[in-house]
Amino acid sequence: MAKTFECRHGGIVCRAKIRGESEDEVVQKAAAHAKEKHGVDLLQARTLARYAVSLVRDE
C-alpha cells in the first residue's frame, strides 16, 4: 500500500502531498521537501523525525 505525507496534517500551510511505497521512502522525501521549502531539517532531531513519521498515512 502506498504511503502519503502532507505538510498540512502537521499544521503547515502547504499543499504538497508526498507519496512513496514505504514509510521510509515517504519520510526521506518529506525531509527533503521540508528542508528545501520550509527550511526545516526533519531528520536533525529525533523528536521531529518521529513526528514526521506519525504524519505518514496509508493511501
Residues 35/44, Cβ–Cβ less than 8 Å: no
Least Cβ distance, residue 40 to Zn ion (angstroms): 9
Cell numbers placing 25: 521512502
Question: Alpha-carbon distance 24 to 38, whole Å?
Answer: 20
Stretch 16-45: interaction string toward Zn ion, x if CB under 5 A:
x--------------------x--------
Which residue, chain included where needed, has cell 527550511? 39
Least Cβ distance, residue 35 to Zn ion (angstroms): 10
Q: Give the binding site for Zn ion (CB under 5 A).
A: 7, 14, 16, 37
